[in-house]
Amino acid sequence: MLVLPVIPFPAVNPVLISIGPLAIRWYALAYIVGIITGWFYARALIAAQRLWGGLAPITVAEFDDFIIWITLGIIVGGRIGYVLFYNLPQFAAHPIQIFELWNGGMSFHGGVLGCVVATALFALRRGLPMLSLGDVTTAVAPIGLFLGRIANFINGELWGRPTDVSWAMIFPNGGPIPRHPSQLYEATLEGLVLLVVLGVLVRFGALKRRGLVTGAFFLGYGIARTVCEFFREPDAQLEAFTRSTGGLTMGMLLCIPLIVAGLGLIAFALSRQPLVSHG
C-alpha cells in the first residue's frame, strides 16, 4: 500500500524572473548570493585582528581581487568534475552540452579541485600564505552550499531514496513514490551545521593555525555528505556503478580523499606553532 506524504512538495517555479529570452533561475541566484554573502563574511574575518592575534596575513583588498579567481574555480571546476565523475559518456557523445550550464550539472568535489587550483595560483602570484587564504575561503563556503542545496530542492532534483517517514515528499520528476527530501538534509548538515562548527573554531582561534579551518571543512563536509548519501537517490546513470561498488555511491567515494586530506591538514596545523602578531 502506497503511503502518501504528509508534507506536499512546494511547487516553486525554478525560474525566478523571466523577461523575454532572459531567465533568472533560483539555481543561478544561489551561486550569486552565496558568493557575495561569503565575500562579505570573509572580509569581516580578515578585518577582525583578534581572530588572527594581530593583522591577518591577507588584506581585504587582496581578497577582493581573489573573488573572481575563486568564482572561476567554482564554476569551471564544478562543471569539469560533473562531466568527468557523473556523466562522461553523455558528454563525450554530445560535447557541446558541456557548455550548457543552464541545464544544471555541477560537482562539489570538482568545485573543490577548481578552488584549490585557484587558491594556489593566486597565493603564488601574490606571495600570500596559501593555507591562510584557503582557511578564509572554506570558513565561508558552507553559505554557498546551503543556498545551493535549497536551489536543488526548489528545482525538484537530487531527491532522496524511497521512504515511509512522515515528512516524505513526492517529487515532480521522482515518480509516485514518497522520498526523503535529501536536499534539505544536505542543506542542514553541509550548510548550516558546518557553518556553525567552522564559526566556533574560528571564534576560538583556528585561523591562527594555518590549514586547521580548511582541514575541518574537508573533514566535516566529507562526513556530512557521506551521511546524506545514505538518504539520497544515486544518479540514474550511475546505478550500475553503485551496484558494482556494493552500494557505495560516487559521492561517498569522492569523499574518502577529502576526509583523508582533512585529517592530514588538521594534524599538520596542530603540529605547528600558532601565528603570532606581525602587525
Query: In angstroms, how far apart are the furthest CA atoms of the chain?
Result: 69
Residue range 5-24: average pLDDT?
77
Query: What is the structure's pLDDT at 277?
Result: 55
pLDDT reading at 203 higher than 90:
yes
4: pLDDT confidence band, cut at 50, 70 and 90?
low
Beta strands in the chain (DSSP E): 15-19, 22-25
- The whole-angstrom separation of Cα 154 and Cα 13 is 7
Residue 164, amino acid: D
Residue 175 burial (CB count, 10 A) = 11
More confident residue, 216 or 23: 216
Q: Does the structure show a pLDDT above 80 at 20?
A: no
For 147-185, the pLDDT digits (tens) are: 999 999 999 999 999 999 999 999 988 889 999 999 999
Return the pLDDT at 274. Answer: 87
What is the pLDDT averaged over residues 179-207?
97
How confident is the model over 103-116, as a mean pLDDT?
A: 90
pLDDT band for 99, please (50, 70, 90 cuts). Answer: confident
Calpha distance 31→208 (Å, rounded)? 29
pLDDT higher than threshold 70 for residue 57: yes
Q: Please tell me whether the overall predicted TM-score, pTM, comes out greater than 0.85 for this model.
A: yes
Residue 102 pLDDT class (50, 70, 90 cuts): low
Tell me what pLDDT residue 1 has: 45
Contact 22, 35 (CB under 8 A): no
pLDDT tens-place string over residues 213-258: 999 999 999 999 999 999 999 988 888 899 999 999 999 999 999 9
Arithmetic mean of pLDDT, 4-19 = 76
Tell me how far apart the alpha carbons of residues 140 and 38 are, in angstroms, rounded to a whole number. 5
pLDDT of 5 over the 60 cut: no
Q: Give the span between the Cα atoms of 215 and 193, in whole angstroms.
A: 16
pLDDT value of position 90: 87
Residue 22 above 90 pLDDT? no
pLDDT exceeds 90 at position 105: no
From CA 234, how far away is CA 251, in angstroms rounded? 9
Whether residue 133 is predicted with pLDDT greater than 90 in this model: the reply is yes
Residue 27: the pLDDT is 85
Mean pLDDT, the chain, as a whole number?
92
The average pLDDT across 49-53 equals: 95
What mean pLDDT comes out for the span 139-143?
98
As a whole number, mean pLDDT of residues 8-22 equals 80
* Average pLDDT, integer, range 85-92: 88
